[in-house]
Amino acid sequence: MQESGNLREFHCVPCRGGEPTLTDEEIERFKPQVPEWQVLEMEGEKRLRRQFKFKDFATALAFTNKIGEIAETEGHHPALLTEWGKVTVDWWTHKIHGLHRNDFIMAAKTDKAAAE
C-alpha cells in the first residue's frame, strides 16, 4: 500500500467488496496527515470524523456543497450532517465496512477545502 507523499494529491481508486480494511498500523501511518480527524467505531465499522465550524448556516451549506463536488469528482461519498454553524463529515468505505486508504485521501481533501 502506497502511503508516501501528500494524501491531498492522490485520487481515490475503485474499491471492491472483499478487500481488507486498513489495519491499525496502516491507520497510524496515515493519521498524521489528518491529525484533526477522529477514528471512531460505529455499528462495528471504523470511520473518520471531523466537525467543521462556520459563522452561519449559509457558510456551512456552501462547505457541504464543496465537499459534495469533491466527492462526485473522486467517486467516494461521505456522510454529511449540516447544521447551523457546523458540518460533521464522516468518511468510511461502505463496501468493505471500514476504513480504506481512500477515506484518508478524502479526509485530506476535505481539510484542504476547509482551508481555502
Please write the tens of the pLDDT for every residue from 14-31: 888 789 999 999 999 999
Q: Could you give phi then psi for residue 82, rounded to 5 degrees?
A: -105, 125
- Position 15 scores a pLDDT of 84
Tens of pLDDT, residue by residue over 35-93, are 999 999 999 999 999 999 999 999 999 999 999 999 999 999 999 999 999 999 999 99
Contact call for residues 79 and 90 (beta carbons, < 8 A): yes
Give the per-residue pLDDT at 9.
87
Look at residue 17 in the predicted model and tell me its pLDDT: 77
What pLDDT sits at residue 4?
57
Lay out the sheet containing 79-83: strands in order across. 38-42, 45-53, 86-91, 79-83
Domains of the chain, CATH where assigned: 22-115 (3.30.1360.20)
**pTM > 0.85: yes or no:** yes
Q: What is the pLDDT of residue 1?
A: 44
Non-local (6+) Cβ contacts of 87 within 8 A are 51, 52, 54, 60, 63, 64, 67, 80, 81
